[in-house]
Amino acid sequence: MLRVYNTLTRENEDFVPLNGKIVNMYVCGPTVYDHCHLGHARSYVSFDVIRRYLIYRGYDVNYVSNITDVDDKVIDRAKESGEDAFELSRKFTASFEEDMKALGVMEPDTRPKVTEHIEDIIDTVARLIKNGAAYATQKGNVYYDLERSADRIGILSHQTVEGLMEGSGCRIDVEDDKRYQLDFVLWKSSPDNEPGWDSPWGRGRPGWHIECSVMSMKYCSQQLDIHGGGMDLIFPHHEAEIHQSESCTGIHPFSKYWIHNGFLTIDKEKMSKSLGNFFTIKEVLAKFPPGTIRFFIVYTHYRSTIDFSEDALVEAGRARKRLLNTISNVKHSVSEAPDNNNDCGLSELIDESRSAFIDAMDDDFNTRKAIGELFVFSRKINSIIANEKPGRPSLEKVLDLYSEINEVLGIFEDDDKANSEELSNGISDEKINELIELRDKARAEKDWAKADSIRDELKEKGIIIEDGKEGVRWRREN
RNA sequence: GCCGAGAUGACAGAGUGGCUAAUGUGACCGCCUGCAGAGCGGUUUUCCGGGAGUUCGAAUCUCUCUCUCGGCACCA
């Protein structure tokens, strides 16, 4: 039974979707005013694994994740750089999509953009006003009337009204025309020099929270099974969504499960531009293979704080390589294996390991534990192929289990770099084999100096030579 | 002030009542090897923040103390 930690109840709960095997899942996407940073990578890789695991467990997942392409931050950034706001958001949307692809994040079933849903947003805001849940002001702003449903405040963040009022962040803006301190904006009037759309309340643009309510209801359902995002979105963003959506539809709860990923820190400090420890995904991709970055993220439970440092990435890379080496060892064994039914206990081991993987993942997507089980499995596999002679069918089943698990975790994808001839200084397979032959000759003549110099030469070009019992193997490495 | 997360070996990090606690990285030793790599075996490793309590039995439950980190209307 899959168990999931629900922020709403602060408990681990059995996962039972609202409607059989169908899972409607909405994950808050980025506001595209800059290149995405490592925190985004953490969040979207985590939810990607959750999504893939649900699919693996037989659920029919409808995964929706938005792009917030109009917002104060987009507008401010455009003003600073003198660019057109829409041009800017288009640019960073493309950048984001590139990053997600590099990290092996599956494309959502739908990736709606705010600017393409202005009509829907206006309709929803109008409906909220009609329902008496919101009010428009003289200045052309529309606010959600929280005082009216004050008993619902803190439903997700578990804060009291007093607590929120006394919060350090609680500021009363002099310009504000809202009635109640905790009211939040649904529609914000735009000056002529800023992006805006005509509405019943004048020219304006959507407030920050409304887009997610509107687009999740449009592309998922009026009631979601899972709503996800970073922990920092719990308040006010997700709580605002609950108010808006439930006032609009009258359906409770807006989402049955709320899942939030933990933060990413840099050298134990919060990532922030002022501290100068801010890394974009692209900066890190320039230094580490995407598979390593993904492994680093998946190797930590999604709710734990994950501390980024170069050392941690290096360690993750080594750990991952250990698993990749085993897979590569098994592949070699397959090519040399006898075509008989010698099982050597592999079938049983595979079944046990699959169960261990599922048990770990069923426990609130405990990827760290699941990978721990994978190391145990791999060590046993290495041992068996070193000491026994299993037949090809059994070995192929081992590879099948690795790919089955890879469907969920996505950590064994070959890094493009490692396999491309261009990055290995353009050296061709033929040339490599030629050099290996030369080296073999030298070795036969016990000319170790020559043999080693050939090996070093190839290593410089990213080709790793390994002598085994059954001859020489080589592989490209970045 | 309010809310939350956490403290497990050198480091990272599983583990929520019962074999002296998974796994990875590092270091060292051994096997294998001409050497190296990969792999295997072993050591580092009785390591659960302090104290009190419950229990036949606690890292795990209760109380308490200390410390760390994060959120609180920009945020993944």
Kindly state whether residue A232 falls inside one of the protein's structural domains: yes
Taking the stretch 106-145 of protein chain A, residues with Cβ within 7 Å of any atom in nucleic acid chain B are: none
In a domain, residue A300? The reply is no
What pLDDT score does A168 carry?
A: 47
A391/A343 Cα distance (integer angstroms)? 6
Note whether residue A73 is domain-resident. Answer: yes
In a shared domain, residues A11 and A116: yes
A362 in any annotated domain: yes
A160-179 burial, b at 16+ Cβ within 10 Å, e below that, comes to eeeebeeeeeeeeeeeeebe
Sequence-distant (≥ 6) Cβ neighbours of residue A95 within 8 angstroms: A32, A35, A36, A282
Verify that A216 and A355 share a domain, yes or no.
Answer: no
Q: How many domains does chain A have?
A: 3
Do residue A95 and residue A130 come from a single domain? yes
pLDDT digits (tens, 9 = 90+) for A267-282: 888 887 777 788 999 9
What ipTM was reported for this prediction?
0.94
Q: Residue A476 phi/psi, 5° resolution?
A: -85, 140
Residue A369 sits in a domain whose CATH number is 1.20.120.640
| CB A371 within 7 Å, strand B | yes
A65: which strand partners?
Answer: A27
- Write out pLDDT tens, residues A444-453: 899 999 999 9
Q: Is there a single domain that holds both residue A326 and residue A409? A: yes
CA distance linking residue A10 with residue A156, whole number of Å: 9
Q: Are residues A93 and A42 in the same domain?
A: yes
Gap from A115 CA to B10 C1', in Å? 53
Q: Is the CB of A43 under 7 A from strand B?
A: yes
User: Do A331 and A407 have their domain in common?
Assistant: yes
Nearest by Cα to A41 from A112, A104, A134: A104
Tell me how far apart the alpha carbons of residues A35 and A27 are, in angstroms, rounded to a whole number. 19
Protein footprint on strand B: which nucleotides are under 7 Å from a CB? Answer: 1-6, 12-15, 22-26, 33-41, 69-76
**A433 shares a domain with A379:** no
Q: Which of A284, A358, A371, A357 is nearest to A324 (CA)?
A: A371
Rounded distance between C-alpha atoms, residue A248 and residue A218, angstroms: 13
Same domain, A204 and A329: no
Strand B, CB < 7 A, residues 218-237 of A: 229-237
Mean pLDDT by 10 residues, chain A (478 residues): 92 93 96 93 96 98 96 92 94 97 97 97 96 94 90 87 68 67 92 94 94 95 95 92 94 94 88 80 94 96 93 95 94 90 95 96 95 96 93 96 97 67 67 90 91 89 82 78
Closest residue, CA to C1' of B36: A466
Domain of A224: which CATH number? 3.40.50.620
Q: Which of residues 8-27 of A touch strand B (CB under 7 A)?
A: 10
Domain region containing A431: 417-476
Statement to judge: residues A68 and A27 lie in one domain: yes
In-domain check, residue A447: yes
Together in a domain, A27 and A127: yes
Which residues of A in 243-262 have their CB below 7 Å from strand B's atoms? 261-262
Contacts of A124 (CB under 8 A, 6+ apart): A210, A213, A214, A217, A244, A248
A352 CB-near residues (< 8 Å, 6+ apart): none
Q: Are residues A439 and A366 in the same domain?
A: no
Closest nucleotide (CA of A269 to C1')? B69
Using the C1' atom of nucleotide B24, identify the protein residue whose alpha carbon is closest.
A319
Identify nearest nucleotide to residue A182 by CA to C1′ distance: B73
A183 found inside a domain: yes
Q: Is there contact between A368 and strand B, defined as CB under 7 Å from any strand atom? A: yes
- Residue A126 and residue A157 in one domain: yes
Global confidence as pTM: 0.94
A268 Cβ contact list (under 8 Å, min separation 6)? A307
Q: Give, in Å, how far the C1' of B69 lies from the CA of A474.
A: 46
In a domain, A291, yes or no: no
Residues counted in chain A: 478
- Is residue A297 domain-resident? no
Last residue of a domain, one of A261, A294, A325: A261
Residue A401 CA distance to nucleotide B22 C1' (Å): 21
Among A390, A413, A436, the domain-final residue is A413
